[in-house]
Amino acid sequence: MNILKDSFGRKFPYIRLSISDVCNFKCGYCLPNGYQVDKSDNRKFLHLDEIKRLAKCFSELGVNKIRVTGGEPTVRKDFFDIIKVLRFESGIQNVSITTNGYKLDKKAEQLVNSGLSGINISIDSLDRETFKNITGHDRLSEILKGIENLQNLGFENIKINAVLLNGINSSIEDFDIWAKYIEKNKVDFRFIELMRTGDNLDYFKKYHISSNIFREYLNKNNWIFQTYGKDAGPSLNFINPKFKGKFGIIAPYSKDFCKSCNRLRITSRGDLRLCLFGNTGISLRHLLQKDDQLNELKDLITRQMQFKKESHYLELGDTGSTKNLSKTGG
């Protein structure tokens, strides 16, 4: 079996597949004015058959994990059909999603029964008003109820992501609240450093803060750094035997962050993006129309790997062509 590698020796067993740019939340760091139709790109989102062919191709290239993202992936009417195809008809072993948790309390059972391997949920604060101010929605309670429902159904691979925002959710009190939550709940909680995109420079300047502040908190409270394998990805993970859950940090501005990169990205319209913050993307869509195009598609993807850069160069202020994170799944 072929395994995707770049010129720096990194392997890529993991794909982030966006199936929609649309998001029904209005998070300040991503879509503060809500979803706006991109009039410069009138291509429709990937169809189910195209997604099936794409996944089969990546499976034959050694990919064993696909995370379905957006936008908000669950807004698609055929969302569960997509999950079924990926999980049972493509050869991909691990299929997970990232969601804002919209109607999670009502969808929990269907999500569990769909065969998903994992669910990542975006919750930037456990304070109701803070959550509402960040997202534009007063839905924290139903999201937390959804997590409870998932756990009651025996679903264990739950992760919560929060964007670390200076002065909003970055205090010791905020960290303590999360600690109390994961003390009793078996979930992985990760803070992600706010990343600059093409549209959020003013927001970034106002709210970006280094994740070192959270790492110092973990060190002072006896959290133990947990090492993973070479291809585990860039998340730094911490455990404490007194807690059911784990803490994590995703620090894209840290030294050597890209050294452990193990993922490629597909946009909702079928473009291959070698990096979240790359300047270019190549369309794969013309090779997703027929089953007999598989070898040609594999060849195109393999050849593109030579163009993957060593780093995203975010620390130099290079955000590439990423206007906002709804475009490529964050």
pLDDT, tens digit (0-9, with 9 covering 90-100), for 164-183: 999 999 999 999 999 999 99
> Which pLDDT does position 227 carry in this prediction?
72
- As a whole number of angstroms, the longest Cα–Cα distance in the chain is 58
Tell me the three state secondary structure of residue 287: helix
Dihedrals φ, ψ of 34, to 5°?
Answer: 80, 175
Among the listed ranges 14-18, 190-194, 271-275, which one has the minimum average pLDDT value? 271-275
Contact status, residue 95 vs residue 83, Cβ threshold 8 Å: yes
Q: What totals of helices (H) and strands (E) does the chain contain, helices first? A: 9, 12
| Residue 323 lies inside a defined structural domain of this protein | no
Contact status, residue 116 vs residue 95, Cβ threshold 8 Å: yes
Cα separation, 265 vs 287, whole angstroms: 17
> Which pLDDT does position 37 carry in this prediction?
79
Residue 218 domain boundaries? 14-316
CATH number of the domain that residue 203 is part of: 3.20.20.70
Contact status, residue 239 vs residue 199, Cβ threshold 8 Å: no
| Residue 321 lies inside a defined structural domain of this protein | no
Residue bearing the bigger pLDDT, 287 or 38: 287
Residue bearing the bigger pLDDT, 86 or 314: 86
Here the tokens at position 296 are 């040609």
Average pLDDT over residues 24-42: 84
| Residue 7 lies inside a defined structural domain of this protein | no
Q: What angle do CA 66, 59, 64 make, to 5 degrees?
A: 45
Cα separation, 256 vs 210, whole angstroms: 15
pLDDT band at residue 33 under the 50/70/90 scheme: confident
Dihedrals φ, ψ of 42, to 5°?
Answer: -95, 15
Contact status, residue 267 vs residue 323, Cβ threshold 8 Å: no
Here the tokens at position 91 are 């050869």
> Which pLDDT does position 1 carry in this prediction?
64
> Which pLDDT does position 263 carry in this prediction?
92
- Mean pLDDT in the chain? 91
Helix (H) or strand (E) run with residue 86 in it: helix 79-88
Dihedrals φ, ψ of 147, to 5°?
Answer: -65, -45
| Residue 102 lies inside a defined structural domain of this protein | yes
Among the listed ranges 29-33, 59-63, 293-297, 317-321, which one has the minimum average pLDDT value? 317-321
Number of domains in the chain: 1
Q: Could you report the per-residue pLDDT of 237-296, keeping only the tens digit for each? A: 999 999 999 999 998 877 777 888 899 999 999 999 998 866 667 999 999 999 999 999
| Residue 3 lies inside a defined structural domain of this protein | no
| Residue 6 lies inside a defined structural domain of this protein | no
Cα separation, 191 vs 290, whole angstroms: 41
| Residue 160 lies inside a defined structural domain of this protein | yes
| Residue 189 lies inside a defined structural domain of this protein | yes
Q: Could you report the per-residue pLDDT of 90-145, keeping only the tens digit for each? A: 999 999 999 999 999 999 999 999 999 999 999 999 999 999 999 999 999 999 99
pTM of the full structure: 0.92
Q: Which residue has the tokens 């803490």?
A: 247
> Which pLDDT does position 201 carry in this prediction?
86
